[in-house]
Amino acid sequence: MKKNMTVIVIAFACCSLAFANKGDKETFDLFATTGYGIGIGGRDVGPTITTTNGSIVNKDDNFLNFGRGIKLEGGASYRLMDHLAGQASVCYNFGVPGIKQETITSIGAATNSLTQEYSFSTLGVKALLKPSFQVLDLIDVYTNFGIGLDFAFSSVQVTQNNTGVGEYHATIKDSNWPAIVFIGALGADYPLGTSMILYGEIYCESMSFMTSKQEISDSNFPTGTPYATKVINYEKDATDRSTPPETPGSNLGIRIGVRFPIF
């Protein structure tokens, strides 16, 4: 909640300047953008650790955040007033690079390893207000603030190799409840001509996802082990099952894009 309020307060603070000046001239435009998000917080999925003859020789922590990665977005905006536009868009995010959690234990010539490779992406829609004001003859500064609805898709590929035993593998597919997104941004437009406008922005998104179901399939792990074939259903506030895992999606990043004025 504190993170959500911070995003909203920053957005409204920026807007106090926006209403003092005239904004862009176009009434309707289409836009496309790409960028990269840096995760704020994350769910600890265990360290990547290497142990040789009982001594730890390497350890790296891993934190899963569904908002981290490459972002693509496209949509349209419509000018409601001289200094205020409404904006709607569809956005897609995929986690590149992914997260690989690995435990390697070596004792003499014997080596045991357990690897979990996390893949994730999100798909969502946004609705925002966009106040703008002119600072130079060719550069317009704007702020965005609004809300969105995101859906997360995630899976884990599990592989275990033990010397003298062989390889075990399994696929874990997660179903996640959708998340409400709070959005704030500050950016600037620069016209490249009458039919194209280049823009860049710094943005912040606040959200969190909860897992509703895990399905373990394509598994050859023995029955009764943690990665044997099964389905795990989660439910909020339930007393007969585990608490749903929660994965943050809040992120801060930079985006660059183009807008195409239509009229």
Has residue 252 got a pLDDT over 80? yes
Distance, C-alpha 147 to centroid of its chain: 15
Averaged over 192-200, what is the pLDDT? Answer: 91
- pTM for the full model? 0.85
Averaged over 61-77, what is the pLDDT? Answer: 96
Domain 2-261 listed as CATH 3.40.50.300:
no
Nearest to 140 by CA among 9, 1, 10, 18: 18
Strand-pairing partners, residue 44, are 63
Q: What sign does the CA torsion over 249, 252, 256, 262 have?
A: positive
Whether residue 158 contacts residue 119, with contact meaning beta carbons closer than 8 Å, is answered with no
By DSSP bridging, strand 99-107 and strand 48-52 are parallel
What does the domain layout of the chain look like in residue ranges?
Answer: 2-261
Has residue 13 got a pLDDT over 50? no
